[in-house]
Amino acid sequence: MQRISDEFPSFRLNRRRLICGALAGAASLAAGTPALAAPFANWVQSFRPRALARGVSGETYDRVMAGLKPDASVFEAVRAQPEFTEQMWQYINRRCSEWRVNTGKERAQEHAALFARIEKDYGVDRYVLLGLWGMESSFGDVIANTKYMRPIIPALAALAWGEPRRRRYWEAELLNALVIIERGWAKPADMIGSWAGAMGHTQWMPEVWLNIGVDYDRDGRANPFGKPDDALAGSARYLVERGKYRRGEAWGCEAKLPPSHARLADNRTFRTYEKWHALGVRRADGAAFARPHDQVKLWLPAAGGPAFLVGQNFRAVYSYNPSTSYTLALLHLGDLIRGDGHFRQQFPGGERPPTLEEVKEIQRRLNEQGFKTDGVDGRTGSDTVKAIIAFQKKAGMEPADGYAGLKVLARLRQGS
C-alpha cells in the first residue's frame, strides 16, 4: 500500500508477496541503475508481440507505448507500505478519523438507494462497502487528484520492466491495461491511479476492471471513475465471487475474554458463537450474539490489546487486500459509520484517535510554528504528515512518524 495519510487511500495490491519482490528492483533503480540490462526503449519493443498476442493492435500499442518514460518513482513507493511500517493502532486511528466517519455518514444518506440495490443484488452490507470506499479513495475525494494519483501506464511499465522478481504479475497488469484501452473503455490519460496501477473509487487493478467490473449504472461500460455505482457494485461482486462473502453474516466483533483465556485466541480454530459463549467469550459491548450458529475464530492481534471474533466475511475483505491491519481498519470504519463505538480495549502503547477539532488544532499550531500543512481542515494529508515529521525531528520526538496524535498535540501546546 502506498503511504499517503489517514485521510487518503491505502492503495490496493491483491498479492501481499509483491511487496518483498519489488524491493530488489527498487534498490537498483533508486540508486540510478536499471534493474534490467536492456534499456527501457528496447524492452518496450520486445514487449510488443506480447501485447499483440492479447489482441492489442499495433496502432494502439505504438500510440500508448512509443516514447513512454517509465515512472521509476514507483519503487520508492513500494518501500513505504503503511500496513508494514505503522503500528496497528496508528494505522486504524489514521483511517478511522472523525472526518472520514462523518463523510461516510453523509455518503450513506446520499447514496442510500444505491446501497440498498447492491445489498439486494449481492448481499454485501452497505457499511462494509462504505468502509472500503472510505479506505480506498476517501469516498472518491482523491481519484482525480494528481497530488496523490499518477498515470498508471508509466507506473506499470516501470514495474514490468524493472522489477524482475514479480515481472510476470506486472506484465500481466500492463497487458490488461492495454486491453482496456484497445476496447475503448478508457484513454491512457484517463487512467490515473496508485503507483501499483489501482484506479477509481474502490481502486480496481486492470484485471479486476476487465473481469469483475459491473456496468451498474447501465451506461454501456463498467467504469471505476465517475459515479460510484459501477465501482461499488464491482467491488461487491469481487467480495462475493473471490472472497466468498456470505449474505447476512457479520464480519465478527470485538470480544471480551475471561481472565487467563488468551490461549484460546489461536486465530485458527473455528467455533460457533454459541460455543465461544460457552467458553466464556462475550461481545465487548455486552450485547448478545445475533447469529449464534455462525462460525468464527478468536484473534488477538497483540497481547494485552483487543480481541476479536472473526468469520468468513472478515476473510472476504482480507481477500481484497491481504493485510490484517487494512481489513480491521476497513471494517471498523464501516461500523463507526453505522453508529457503533470505538474499540473498548486499547492496543498496547496506543491512544484514542484525535477528534476533528484536535487535528485542526494540530494543524493550526504547526502553521503558527512555521510548519506548513496546506490548510486547517482536520484531514491529515501528506503536507500535514510532512509538517508533523519536521516538527517531531526539531522537537526530538521519537519516532518521527508523522502521526497526528495526542502526544504531538501536547508537545505543540508546550511550544506555544
- Kindly report the CATH number assigned to the domain that includes residue 373: 1.10.101
Percent of the chain whose pLDDT exceeds 90: 81
Give, for 362, the enclosing helix (H) or strand (E): helix 356-368
**What are the tens digits of pLDDT across the range 250-305?**
999 999 999 888 899 999 999 999 999 999 999 999 999 999 999 999 999 999 99
Which of the residue ranges 14-23, 108-117, 187-196, 242-251 would you say has the lowest mean pLDDT?
A: 14-23
Helix axes 126-137, 229-241, angle to 10 degrees: 110
348 CB neighbour count, 10 Å cutoff: 12
Identify whether the C-beta of residue 255 lies closer than 8 Å to the C-beta of residue 281: yes
Sign of CA dihedral 86, 351, 343, 262: positive
Give the helix ranges, DSSP H, for 56-97: 58-65, 74-79, 82-85, 88-95
Q: Is residue 410 part of a domain?
A: yes
Q: Does residue 2 surpass a pLDDT of 50?
A: no
Q: Is residue 159 part of a domain?
A: yes
The three grid cell numbers given for residue 241, joined into one nine-digit string: 465471487
Q: Is residue 110 part of a domain?
A: yes
Identify whether the C-beta of residue 27 lies closer than 8 Å to the C-beta of residue 170: no
* Pair 166, 141 in one domain: yes
**The predicted structure's pLDDT at residue 247:** 98
Considering its fold, how many domains does the chain have in total?
Answer: 3
* Pair 83, 157 in one domain: yes
Alpha-carbon span 248 to 401, nearest angstrom: 39
Alpha-carbon span 81 to 89, nearest angstrom: 15
* Pair 175, 279 in one domain: no
**The predicted structure's pLDDT at residue 79:** 61
Alpha-carbon span 57 to 63, nearest angstrom: 10
Give the helix ranges, DSSP H, for 216-343: 229-241, 273-278, 312-320, 324-338
* Pair 224, 264 in one domain: no
Query: Where is the domain boundary, 214, 241, 268?
Result: 241
* Pair 274, 133 in one domain: no
Domain holding 269, by residue range, is 252-310
- Ramachandran quadrant class, 205 (left: phi over 0; alpha: psi -120 to 50; beta: rest): beta
Alpha-carbon span 170 to 246, nearest angstrom: 31
| Average pLDDT over every residue of 331-354 | 96
Query: Where is the domain boundary, 241, 263, 298?
Result: 241
Pick the closest to residue 46 from 146, 178, 177, 171 (CA basis).
171
Q: Which DSSP symbol is given to 262?
A: G
Q: Is residue 333 part of a domain?
A: no
3-state helix, strand, coil in the chain (%, to 5): 50, 5, 45
Identify whether the C-beta of residue 314 lies closer than 8 Å to the C-beta of residue 300: no
Identify whether the C-beta of residue 154 lies closer than 8 Å to the C-beta of residue 40: no
- The b/e string for 322-345 (b: 16+ C-beta within 10 A; e otherwise) is bbbbbbbbbbbbbbbbbeeebbee
Q: Is residue 233 part of a domain?
A: yes
Q: Is residue 108 part of a domain?
A: yes
Sign of CA dihedral 336, 341, 346, 350: positive
Count the alpha carbons within 13 Å of 62 in the hemisphere toward its beta carbon: 3
* Pair 146, 290 in one domain: no
Q: Is residue 118 part of a domain?
A: yes
* Pair 201, 66 in one domain: yes
* Pair 287, 383 in one domain: no
262 or 405: which leads in pLDDT: 405
pTM of structure:
0.89
Q: Is residue 329 part of a domain?
A: no
Which of the residue ranges 74-83, 84-93, 130-139, 199-208 would you say has the lowest mean pLDDT?
A: 74-83
**The predicted structure's pLDDT at residue 137:** 96
Q: Does residue 246 surpass a pLDDT of 80?
A: yes
**What are the tens digits of pLDDT across the range 7-47?**
433 334 443 344 344 444 444 444 444 444 479 999 999 99
**What are the tens digits of pLDDT across the range 215-235?**
999 999 999 999 999 999 999
* Pair 196, 170 in one domain: yes
Which residue(s) pair with 297 in the sheet? Answer: 270, 310
